[in-house]
Amino acid sequence: MSKTFFITTAIDYTNGAPHIGHAYEKVLTDAIAHHRRLRGEPVFFMTGVDQHGQKVQQSAAKQGIEPAEFVAGITELFVALWKKLDIRYDAWAATVEDLHKHCVQGMLQRLWDEGKFYKATQSGHYSVRQEQFLTEKERGPDGEFGPEWGEVVLIEEENYYFKLAEHRQWLLDLIDQRSAAGNPLVVPDFRVAELRNAVEKLAGDLCISRPKSRLTWGIELPFDRDFVTYVWFDALSNYISFAGYDAAPGADLSLFKSRWPAVHVIGKDILAPPHGIYWLIMLHALGFTDEEMPTLLVHGWWNIAGAKMSKSLGNIVDPSELVDRYGRAATRYYLLSDIATGRDADFSNERLEQRYNTELANSLGNLLNRTLNMAKRYRSGVLKKSDSPLAEFVQEKTKAWDSAMEAFHVQTAIEALMEIVIRCNAYVEETAPWKLAKDPAQADKLDEVLYSLSESLRIVSILLLPILPEESNAMRAQLNWSGEPTLANTAWGLLPDAHQLGDPVPLFPRIEVPA
Ligand code: MSP
């Protein structure tokens, strides 16, 4: 049995409603997980919500409700959205759960017992919004702390610190070793340098506590009940707490080890320092070996007309509304096809409409429909197994699709799939089955064309599964092929002789765009 492919997404903050950035990350991960399942690999896909911290406490207070009630409401929005987008995750990590709290406390206790923390006093300017002390570097050209820091107050505080800086060289070596071994710690590899530069600059340690006098909505330090732990320490730990980890010496870690290490899917904003520095060093301090370090798959951002989505700009795109307006297929397809993994992209309704209408409604939907219609009209939907001039091309593109998916380049994989569709449509024009049907001498040729198209569509349906699972199944239902959708079953020629095709049902109705 091969090792479980363990893939997680960043757990989403529950201090605001989900937007298309959140939706993209989930759809991307869902597609990658489906691809691994198609290959027959055991998959464990975990996602969830990050529910503690100062911002949540403040948002709840503003609404005059308890933080627990506040996060429960926002969590519901996320859960409903993942259902609406058909995200098939295997485990749900919600950081208010007891299992998580116990695990995090176990980790904290162990690191404390092993001398990895120390207590110290810090005084200075503190940003309430960003929950961090500010240094001189953070002052703007006018000498003031900019509006991005929100309210800045002078405080003096005792806290616990995690010895980060002493692991700097270890982390630099790890980054270099993983790159040299062709297994970069950060994917796509153009982000490796970004992390390396951040690690080079690593000087201080990490404050991992907050006094309860200003933050109660968090996990208590087991060795000092006057403090809760810093939200990043809490949140990052979800990747192991919900996967069966236990920091207690001698704990049974067999289930956990069958999953670990993970691929963490995160946005570029949380690579350095949280995942690329804090998290890796936390794992290292807990005794995880270099071989047990995760891989960080870092995606780019969806922007709106080149600008960041933000509440203040009022340009936040609600993915749930998008699904209501255009459907799930159009939404998933757009989010996966119009961005290259790792790069940023600009969101636009026009591009969504255009890609859906051109690629799904016109190219793929039409190909399926005309193939089934012609087969029905000329052969009562019964195929004759024949050699095909398309076989080699389809197999080549299937391989390209698989390699692209393996490298997490979903956009490139979709291009390979669409090349098959485009080739098939051109083949229909070249062979003109409606003319062949009029000439009894061309009966074999007509059978060859109908088999080639149906078999190509069967394979395309499997390649489409990670992108649009529901439509992929619907395609196979129309083709009346009940075999398993697996990568092995993308081999050419699995539609048997005398196969009876099903009835055509329009699959991708056009989005009508008002003129
Ligand atoms: N709660 C932290 C993550 C903790 S992981 C242990 C967090 N939450 S978030 O809600 O702000 O962001 C969740 C994910 O969405 C992050 O990976 C983030 O990079 C991603 N995105 C947020 N805005 C985005 C876009 N505009 N576009 C694409 N992804 C973006 O960070």
Can you give the pTM of this predicted structure? 0.96
By most ligand atoms within 8 Å of CB, the mutation choice from 301, 311, 348 for ligand 1 is 301
Q: Whose CA is nearest to atom 6 of ligand 1?
A: 236
Looking at residue 499, what is its pLDDT? 98
pLDDT of 284 strictly over 60 = yes
Atom number of ligand 1 nearest to Cα 300: 28
By most ligand atoms within 8 Å of CB, the mutation choice from 266, 322, 347 for ligand 1 is 266
Tokens representing residue 513 in the block:
């765009």
Atom number of ligand 1 nearest to Cα 303: 26
Per the CB < 8 A criterion, the answer to whether 485 and 476 are in contact is yes
**Confidence band (pLDDT; 50, 70, 90) for 480?**
very high
pLDDT of 2 strictly over 80 = no
Looking at residue 215, what is its pLDDT? 94
Atom number of ligand 1 nearest to Cα 238: 6
Quote the ligand 1 centre to 12 CA distance (angstroms): 6
By most ligand atoms within 8 Å of CB, the mutation choice from 9, 47, 50 for ligand 1 is 50
Quote the ligand 1 centre to 296 CA distance (angstroms): 14
**How far is the C-alpha of 130 from the C-alpha of 109, rounded, in Å?**
26
Mean pLDDT (the chain, rounded): 97
- Express each pLDDT in 435-470 by its tens digit: 999 999 999 999 999 999 999 999 999 999 999 999
Looking at residue 34, what is its pLDDT? 99
As beta bridge partners, residue 92 has 47
pLDDT of 146 strictly over 90 = yes
pLDDT of 131 strictly over 80 = no
pLDDT mean over 343-352: 97
Looking at residue 395, what is its pLDDT? 98
Q: What are the C-alpha distances in Å from 500 to residues 28, 372, 384, 496? A: 35, 10, 10, 9
Neighbouring residues of 41: CB distance < 8 A, sequence distance ≥ 6:
2, 4, 5
Q: Whose CA is nearest to atom 30 of ligand 1?
A: 21
Atom number of ligand 1 nearest to Cα 236: 6
pLDDT mean over 151-171: 96
Task: List ligand 1's pocket residues with C-beta within 6 A.
Answer: 10-13, 21-22, 24-25, 50, 235-236, 238, 266-267, 269-270, 301-302, 309
pLDDT of 149 strictly over 80 = yes
- Express each pLDDT in 69-110 by its tens digit: 999 999 999 999 999 999 999 999 999 999 999 999 999 999
**Confidence band (pLDDT; 50, 70, 90) for 320?**
very high
Torsion of CA 89, 91, 92, 98, to 10 degrees: 180
Mind spelling out the 3-state secondary structure of 283-312? Answer: HHHCCCCHHHCCEEEEECCEEECCECCCCC
Quote the ligand 1 centre to 60 CA distance (angstroms): 20
pLDDT mean over 349-361: 98
Looking at residue 128, what is its pLDDT? 75
Quote the ligand 1 centre to 362 CA distance (angstroms): 34
Quote the ligand 1 centre to 267 CA distance (angstroms): 6
pLDDT of 312 strictly over 90 = no
Looking at residue 135, what is its pLDDT? 87
By most ligand atoms within 8 Å of CB, the mutation choice from 9, 13, 19, 22 for ligand 1 is 22
Quote the ligand 1 centre to 319 CA distance (angstroms): 15
Quote the ligand 1 centre to 73 CA distance (angstroms): 19
- The Cβ-side half-sphere exposure at 313, using a 13 Å CA radius, reads 11
Quote the ligand 1 centre to 415 CA distance (angstroms): 27
Q: Whose CA is nearest to atom 24 of ligand 1?
A: 21
pLDDT of 51 strictly over 70 = yes
- Express each pLDDT in 202-231 by its tens digit: 999 999 999 999 899 999 999 999 999 999
Q: Whose CA is nearest to atom 11 of ligand 1?
A: 13
Quote the ligand 1 centre to 269 CA distance (angstroms): 7
Quote the ligand 1 centre to 120 CA distance (angstroms): 31
User: Of 486, 484, 482, 443, whose CA–CA distance to 466 is shortest?
Assistant: 486
Quote the ligand 1 centre to 343 CA distance (angstroms): 15
Atom number of ligand 1 nearest to Cα 301: 27
Instruction: Write out the E strands in 188-261.
Output: 206-207, 209-211, 220-221, 224-229
As beta bridge partners, residue 209 has 229
Q: Whose CA is nearest to atom 23 of ligand 1?
A: 21
Looking at residue 344, what is its pLDDT? 98
Quote the ligand 1 centre to 476 CA distance (angstroms): 35
User: Of 263, 282, 256, 283, whose CA–CA distance to 184 is shortest?
Assistant: 263
Looking at residue 513, what is its pLDDT? 84
User: Of 274, 95, 116, whose CA–CA distance to 202 is shortest?
Assistant: 274
pLDDT of 304 strictly over 80 = yes
Quote the ligand 1 centre to 9 CA distance (angstroms): 9
Torsion of CA 123, 128, 129, 134, to 10 degrees: -10
Looking at residue 82, what is its pLDDT? 98
**Confidence band (pLDDT; 50, 70, 90) for 1?**
low
Looking at residue 38, what is its pLDDT? 98
pLDDT of 132 strictly over 90 = no
- Express each pLDDT in 197-208 by its tens digit: 999 999 999 999
